[in-house]
Amino acid sequence: MLIGLQIRDVVLIEALDLSIGPGLTALTGETGAGKSIILDALGLATGMRADSGLVRRGASQAVATAVFAPSPQHAVWDLLEEKGLSYARDEDLVLRRSLSADGRSRAFVNDQATGVGVLKEIGELLLEVHGQHETVGLLDARTHRPMLDAFGGLEPLAAEVAARHRDWRAARERVEALREDVARAAAETEELTFRLSELDRLDPKPGEETALAEERALLGSAEKALADIAAAREVFDGLSTKVASAVRALERARERAVAAGAGADSAAVACVSQASEALDRVLIEAGEAEAAIDAAAAAFDFEPDRLEKAEERLFDLRGLARKLNVAVEELPVLRVRFAERLRAVESSEETLKAAEAELAAARTRYLEAAARLTDGRQTAGERLALSVMSELAPLKLDKARFRVAVEPLAEDRAGPAGLDRVAFEIATNPGAPFGDLGAIASGGELARFALALKASLAGRAAGPQPLMIFDEVDQGVGGAVADAVGLRLKKLAGNAQVLVVTHSPQVAARAEAHWRISKAGDAERIRTAVEVLPPADREEEIARMLAGAQITDAARAAARALIGA
């Protein structure tokens, strides 16, 4: 609901602050007083097209601010979320736009700068304009389908169709992804098989590279150690024989000394004996040393080609890792992955077939729900057409014919809203073909037709209704027709906020609130003013509308009768 409108320097309005209530508000005044300026200012604030002609002469810019109080469930909050604008659902929504004298404009939502296009999107959710110069909402065929669904109580079925369409689309996307996977897998199967055979042949083990590197380092050191041990072993070649020969020589020397008469306890014999004993010990120690060296050599013993095999294995692992562009330690993981991928290729055909079956089922569920929705829309369209037709004659549109066209769409154009194009169409004269609503020649006729349609839809639409503005909907009519217009506006305002610019006393008399627009000033300065009329002044204004410049008692009595009707 619109609760406030602030206008600064718009055409003839210098400064104006308006508070707006629910129900029907009538704007009246002499022709040229500036009634449409109020609507122009509201259009400026809600993103409608505007030019520099709206800027009051002598002012640098025009500014219009509209304050709305949407319900917490209103769709406008979701739009603000989508546009990245901050808001609070329990607070007012403030739309503001400035227009400079050079034609440049700036738009704000809750004091946040935004584009005029965003302001227009927000405005389209908050108000509808039906009038002489512009009709917003009704001419947009995109609004016809939700209006028909609301009239026919088809929103739950429409929601089911949207859900079925989401399921169908998800199933289709899954099948497309699986088909791409199968195609890719088929192309890489040969490569996968070859790579896996290489990995199977090599049979890499976790941590094998580290173990082989350590073994290679150890084996390389062992070869050098064995060479050193062999050099040490060479020292003992013939040593035992030489020492044994020396021992025998010393034994002969001792025997000769004794034979020559030296006593067994002589110094010479004793020295020879000591030398012989020492050599005996050398022979024993040499044997032990030789055995220790042999034991050391045995400790370093390995297969002759063991180092070569370790180096070849390490080379093979690193070569395959380079070929596959991975680290050696990743080869066992890659082997498992390749095997899983090949198994997936083998089972992908079955997975694809199952997904295709689900896709067919999802399509069938969608088409069945969409067909039920089409039937519902056709039935609702017939009822809506009859209802609108019953409203046209009292509004002096008895020559016009109305229908709701529910046309099937090809399956490739299926969407969340179903398989129908819904359009409200009218034929303005007998025998004339049906066409879109823009075929209505006059803005007043279009506004009255919008009123007939809205009256038929009144109370059927779910959720909050937008502010509806009717600009001179009563143009060219009077008497009973004007009274019919007033009655329908009153009915429409029962669950919506309605503003009507009118010259008809029958219409103005039906309003809950009445604003009188007047123009005053001199040749130098002319201004438009807005008065919110209390009951007594309202009676006088309606009497003026009835009688003209000279208000009579009869006109006042007629005005009281209209207000009390």
The pLDDT tens digits of the residues spanning 255-308 come to 777 777 666 567 777 887 888 888 888 878 877 887 787 776 666 656 556 667
**pLDDT band for position 112 (cuts 50, 70, 90):** very high
CB atoms within 10 A of CB 406: 23
Percent of the chain clearing pLDDT 90 (strictly above):
31
The DSSP string of 147-188 is HHHHHTT-HHHHHHHHHHHHHHHHHHHHHHHHHHHHHHHHHH
> What's the sign of the alpha-carbon dihedral 369, 75, 405, 408?
negative
pLDDT for 140-192, tens place per residue? 778 889 889 989 999 999 999 999 999 999 999 999 988 887 787 777 777 77
Q: From 43, 52, 33, select the one nearest 130 (Cα to Cα).
A: 43
Task: List beta partners, residue 435.
Answer: 426
Centroid of chain to Cα 491: 40
Q: Are strands 127-130 and 467-471 parallel, antiparallel or unpaired?
A: parallel
Q: How far apart are CA 116 and CA 104, in angstroms?
A: 11
pLDDT of residue 128 exceeding 90, the answer is no
**pLDDT band for position 356 (cuts 50, 70, 90):** very high
pLDDT for 68-101, tens place per residue? 999 888 889 999 999 999 989 889 999 999 999 9
Contact 423, 116 (CB under 8 A): no
Question: How far does the chain reach from its first CA to its final CA, in angstroms?
Answer: 27
DSSP summary character for residue 466: P
Centroid of chain to Cα 234: 85
Q: How far apart are CA 403 and CA 384, in angstroms?
A: 8
Q: How far apart are CA 109 and CA 96, in angstroms?
A: 6
Please give the helix or strand (H or E) that residue 60 lies within, else none: none
Q: From 126, 153, 151, select the one nearest 137 (Cα to Cα).
A: 126
Contact 448, 502 (CB under 8 A): no
Please give the helix or strand (H or E) that residue 554 lies within, else none: helix 553-564
Contact 474, 26 (CB under 8 A): no
Contact 286, 239 (CB under 8 A): yes
pLDDT at 523 (0 to 100): 56
Q: How far apart are CA 11 and CA 526, in angstroms?
A: 10
pLDDT at 222 (0 to 100): 62
Which residues, at least 6 apart from 163, have a Cβ–Cβ distance to it below 8 Å?
none
Contact 527, 13 (CB under 8 A): yes
